[in-house]
Amino acid sequence: MFVNAPTVQELLHDCAREVRSIMWDVTALDGPALAAAWPAFAVHAGAALAAVPPPDPATQLLAGRMQGPRPRPNRWGPPVDAEPDPHLSAAGDALAAVADLVQRHATPPKTAQAARDADLARRRIVECLFIASHATALGLHEHATRLRPARPGIAFEQPGVQLAVAGATLAKSRRLASELDTLQAHAAHYLAGAPGREPLRGAEHFVDPDRLPHVLAAWEVTALRVLHASPPSVRDLAGVAHAEQALLVHTMVILNAAAEAGVIDHDGFTRQIRPRLQDAHLAWGDVAASWPAQMTTPAPAALLGVEASAQLHQGLADITRDGTGWATPALIAQRVHLAEVTGLLRDALGAGRARAGRFAELPSELARAGQIRAPARLLAAMDPHPGRRGPELDSAPRISDVANRRIVLVRPEQTAGATATAADLGRQMTALTQALETLPLGRANLTVVEPAPSAQTASRGVRPAHSPRANTHLGRNLTARG
Amino acid sequence: MRTSPIQTSCNDQAEQCLARAWTLLDRGEHLARQGGGDESGPGLWLLAANSILRARDALEAIHPAAPHGSGLDAPVGQTCSDLVRAAAQQLAGIPAGHEPAGLSLALVHLAQAGHEVEGRSCS
């Protein structure tokens, strides 16, 4: 019977995602929950680390250290009676599954490649451990700053004085945080240690096949929220435009790899797609520039938009980047199933066209509602027809605006330039998405031989959800996922 | 609850550090967007600029007054890398115990920005 069980790589990726999600925003309220989840996580991390063959002294020392600094029963700080943090618990569960898989199936490595894989798995586990211990210590430090110490001779029931939250007192919080600081230093030392533990570039770089669809979907939701907020933050609007611009840059790199691999028609890409991508890229940059940092709405910048943009950039960079440069087309082709990713990106650019349309509506909409403010000198500099407006209007430029910092409301007629810029972007995006819809597939997708699955799909034991030879164009059903 | 003068002073210092870091990153982002002419190509500079932008916006999200409170003139003659490093130094100068919630996320973005601009020259 076929069972689609996650691999060790996927479990480690899940674990990394969970522990990093804790870092989203660690507050005083998270401290007790993280402390409650920590002992189980530490045990599972230690078991996973010890299970990876072959055992070396440094790893054994760290794995043993995961049992806690003291003998039973209180191995990690005093117990905390809070509900365990779900992310840290999920990360611990993933590591428990890793330990189970490795214990049942792994044998001592017989080749250099297998030894490198084992070393990489150890590093991934310790990286998760490092981040989780850092987040938990941070939460406990934050928690401790909100509590007052118990002092001899002072009644505990004083109003407004909190001695503990969810069972985590000041002393407990500080003690566990201190233990975790020490562990964190040990993990950092391990990661920075032996030269043989340096990760290799290229072959072991794992791209989670589910990550790109996930981050693209998350990006669409976040961008939609930003663009339809009332009012949106100017920072978030500029952030959306810049992220869309980056999406086009990554798309160019991936489609270039697809053309080189014969997944899409090479000539069609060179003649039809590349120039349109470049034009749309410049147009998104112009739209981003029409929302400068000096301009404001009543809404502040939101961490939500920043984080979604970061995830989008990271999800794409996993495919296109090699260190601080670009990955070669051949390396990109090894990392992902190019036909599938090409289809995903085409759909994402289609959604980007709709977002471009919204950018054309926003300037006048916000100005009519009296929600955009900007320095008068900025508006004066942007005004293509200076001197037309009468001095009776508050937002009309004055001579003194060159020097002072008077902030004024932006009037609807002053948004004409931004609207025209966004309308031009809409035209560029329409031309690009239409060209993508009619771009023929390359020779690699026109053969009658079933294409080889990517390394990732092979490792998961599943076939691509679609058969590229069913279509000769990059039609919508090309990327339909089962 | 009344705050002591020392606490107020530390809070002011923390806000100043955040505001100065914002100004440095704003300048760094501006420079990175102009860095398209270098041999590594405009695409990589765009990504570097976006990473600086995220660090700047994360700071503004946790301290909305950051764009207005630095009193620091936009620095000239420094590279993106210098500016990102200087912003990190400002954040390291926040008094212990006065770190705003969400600072850790801003630091993650700042570290990514530092990684992107490391070894590249823009000024």
> Do A470 and A432 belong to one domain?
yes
Q: For chain B, which residues score pLDDT lower than 70?
A: 1-8, 36-42, 69-75, 119-123
Residues A190-219 have pLDDT tens digits of: 887 654 454 444 445 667 777 899 899 999
Q: What is the mean pLDDT of residues A25-35?
A: 79
Across the interface, whether the CB atoms of A293 and B109 are under 8 A apart is answered no
Q: Go through chain A and tell me how many residues it has.
A: 482
> Does residue A400 form part of some domain?
no
Q: Are residues A187 and A314 in the same domain?
A: no
- A294 within domain boundaries: yes
Host domain of residue A146: 8-197
In a domain, A258, yes or no: yes
**A145 to chain B nearest CA, in Å?**
7
pLDDT at A450 over 60: no
| pLDDT score of A333 more than 50 | yes
Q: How many domains does chain A have?
A: 2
pLDDT 10s digits, A45-87? 999 999 998 877 788 888 888 888 766 656 777 677 788 999 9
| Residue A49 falls inside a structural domain | yes
Which pLDDT tens digit goes with each residue over A85-118? 999 999 999 999 999 999 888 888 777 777 888 8
Mean pLDDT of A405-423: 88
Residues of A in contact with B19 (CB under 8 A): none
| Nearest neighbour of A303 by CB, restricted to B1, B105, B119 | B105
Q: Which of B2, B30, B38, B105 best probes binding to A when mutated, by most A CB atoms within 10 angstroms?
A: B105
For residues A234 and A297, the answer to whether their CB atoms sit within 8 Å is yes
A327/A429 same-domain check: yes
A189 pLDDT higher than 70? yes
Does residue A125 register a pLDDT over 90?
A: yes
Percent of chain A with pLDDT over 90: 40
When pLDDT is cut at 50, 70 and 90, the band that residue A475 belongs to is very low
Give the chain A residue nearest B68 (alpha carbons): A294
Across the range A255-283, mean pLDDT stands at 93
Question: Do residues A169 and A238 both lie within one domain?
Answer: no
Least Cα separation, residue A27 to chain B (angstroms): 6
Q: Which residue, among A306, A309, A312, A405, would best test binding to B if mutated, counting the most B CBs under 10 Å from its CB?
A: A306
Residue A368 resides in a domain: yes
Domain parsing of chain B, residue ranges: 5-117
> What is the three-state SS of chain A?
CCCCCCCHHHHHHHHHHHHHHHCCCCCCCHHHHHHHHHHHHHHHHHHHHHHCCCCCHHHHHHHHHCCCCCCCCCCCCCCCCCCCCHHHHHHHHHHHHHHHHHHHHCCCCCCHHHHHHHHHHHHHHHHHHHHHHHHHHHHHHHHHHCCCCCCCCCCCCCCCCCCEECCEEHHHHHHHHHHHHHHHHHHHHHHHCCHHHCCCCCCCCCCCCCHHHHHHHHHHHHHHHHHCCCCCCHHHHHHHHHHHHHHHHHHHHHHHHHHHCCCECHHHHHHHHHHHHHHHHHHHHHHHHCCCCCCECCCCCCHHHHHHHHHHHHHHHHHHEECCEECCHHHHHHHCCHHHHHHHHHHHHHHHHHHHHHHHHHHHHHHHCCCCEEEHHHHHHHCCCCCCCCCCCCCCCCHHHHCCCCEEECCHHHHHHHHHHHHHHHHHHHHHHHHHHCCEECHHHCCCCCCCCCHHHHHHCCCCCCCHHHCCECCHHHHCCC
- On whether residue A108 sits in a domain, the answer given is yes
Mean pLDDT of A306-314: 91
pLDDT tens, position by position, A373-396: 988 877 777 765 555 544 445 555
Pairing mode, strands A373-375 and A407-409: antiparallel
Same domain, A225 and A187: no
Q: Is position A467 within any domain?
A: yes
- Nearest chain A residue to B65, by CA: A300
Mean pLDDT of chain A: 79
Does the model's ipTM exceed the 0.95 cut?
Answer: no
Please report the pLDDT score of residue B66 as a whole number: 84
**Pair (A156, A235) in one structural domain:** no
Last residue of a domain, one of A197, A228, A252: A197
Confidence of residue A458 (pLDDT cuts 50, 70, 90): very low
Residues A75 and A223 both lie in one domain: no
Q: Which of A197, A226, A241 is the last residue of a domain?
A: A197
Task: Confirm if A52 and A116 have CB atoms less than 8 A apart.
Answer: no
Nearest CA in chain B to A307: B54
Indicate if A257 and A343 belong to the same structural domain.
Answer: yes
pLDDT band at A449 (very low <50, low <70, confident <90, very high): very low
Is residue A464 over pLDDT 50? no
| Whether A462 and A363 share a structural domain | yes
Whether A359 is in a domain gets the answer yes
Per-residue pLDDT at A451: 41
Inspect the interface and report whether the beta carbons of B54 and A325 lie closer than 8 Å: no
Query: What per-residue confidence (pLDDT) applies to A465?
Result: 34
